[in-house]
Amino acid sequence: MAKQSDHIVSLFSGAGGFSYGFTSVGLKPLFGAELNKHACHTYEDNIGSPCHNVDLSSVSPGYFKKLLGGAQPFAIIGGPPCQGFSTAGPRNADDPRNRLIFNYLRIVDEVRPRWFIFENVEGLLTSGRGKDVSALIQMFLEIGYSVRLEKVNLAGYGVPQTRKRVLIIGNRLNADFSFPEEKFSYDSGKAKKLSGKPFAPTLMDAIAGLGGAVKKRAEIATYSTSVPLNPYDAAMRDGNLTLEVTEHTDTTFAQDAHRYRFLKPGQSMKDLPEELWHDSFKRRAFRRVMDGTPTEKRGGAPSGIKRLHGNLQSLTITSAASREFIHPLADRPLTRRECARLQSFPDWYRFHGAAANVAQQIGNAVPPLAAAEFARHLRNLDGVFGSDLKSPSFHASPRLLGYVLTDATGMSDALKVTESLLHDLMQSELLFA
């Protein structure tokens, strides 16, 4: 019988947001695994454990079993690259990166953790007309894991941005469980949930105290005040012994600053006079017209740039945020450090690689603040670490414990197809349990 361990294994580790969240509550991963060499460097520098620079689409699952010495870890965490599913860019059901979700499953099957957390974008739910996610759930059941799937907004866990993500949590103990309870209301102007709970920090709360941005990346910025301006500012400064602020750079051209000056909070490129539009935006705005697409089917053009509301939570931070999201007050985009704060990375966190690569690392990360909430919850659910939670109930066999696809009152036609597939899967598991 394989020996059990309390190790955490991080897959598709990126810059280490997921891993740092776990580390912050005493569950430091034994190692990470990531294809991007710069992200691997970032991971090792900040997490302090090895990051294996490997291609997870081709590496043998036995590779990780060997690293663990055959021990079965407490948990595997990770979010396979999601560009093929993302609603932020072109969606392609045949994107080979989509297959990485099944590579994740193969590694879980080989390594046999007690728990796993799988993170991805909401586009996963309708990829392949719902067949991708339902197939993934079916396979997790077949390899012996009881699972729960939910679309969550990480602002509900205190992250200062509305960030919708799909999480699948599973265990091979056949323990029933729920997701951790949300603690915050939120409103980004686009997504909101007024639950009667206190609001997550606003955008301006999150970036308070950073001071003026510098002009060159090699320069180091300093805080605007010697003491934190609010609790979130204090949390981000904590541990930054040098008091230096990296990646807080503004390289805005004068003509762009002039363009931004006309934007009010919530407005985007389309709200500007046409003479101020970027050439690329003009091409995108009129592309469907030139293609002959009927007016009623054109939809809107991509926003290009948007000035954010300082008194609300931010929109979702992506790799393009430091180019396209305009500061609520200053006539410039958010800096990479401001994006990192909105992702809840502390100020001492150092990112490696070229500026564009760093922006990608930040935008793709799981916010450490939310990761820490799920780490605590998993630790309590497992019971081995001690818990004040009510002991979970157990089932005789693996099953789909439940799913939440939306918290909206309505559901798109595409999502209805997914809901039907998951409902049928859940009923069949109950029938044969």
What type of residue sits at position 90? Answer: P
Q: Smallest Cα–Cα separation from 330: which of 305, 303, 310? A: 310
Q: How many CB atoms lie within 10 A of CB 119?
A: 24
Q: How far apart are CA 115 and CA 381, in angstroms?
A: 10
- Residue in 40, 51, 82, 339 annotated catalytic: 82
Q: How far apart are CA 44 and CA 49, in angstroms?
A: 6
In a 10 Å sphere around its CB, with 0-12 CB exposed, 13-18 middle and 19+ buried, how is residue 11 labelled?
buried
SS3 (DSSP) at 360: helix
Q: Smallest Cα–Cα separation from 106: which of 133, 142, 159, 132? A: 142
82 is catalytic: yes
Q: Smallest Cα–Cα separation from 331: which of 225, 233, 252? A: 252
Judge whether 38 and 13 are in contact, CB under 8 Å.
no
Give 116's strand partners.
Answer: 76, 170
Q: How far apart are CA 307 and CA 173, in angstroms?
A: 48
What type of residue sits at position 106? Answer: R
For residue 391 the two structure tokens come to 């002991």
Q: How far apart are CA 292 and CA 284, in angstroms?
A: 14
HSE of 298, CA atoms in CB hemisphere, 13 A: 16
CA torsion 209-214-217-219 (nearest 10°) is -90
Q: How far apart are CA 367 and CA 376, in angstroms?
A: 15
Q: How far apart are CA 340 and CA 236, in angstroms?
A: 10
Q: How far apart are CA 338 and CA 345, in angstroms?
A: 10
Cβ partners under 8 Å of residue 252, min gap 6 = 260, 331, 332, 333
Could you list the active site residues?
82
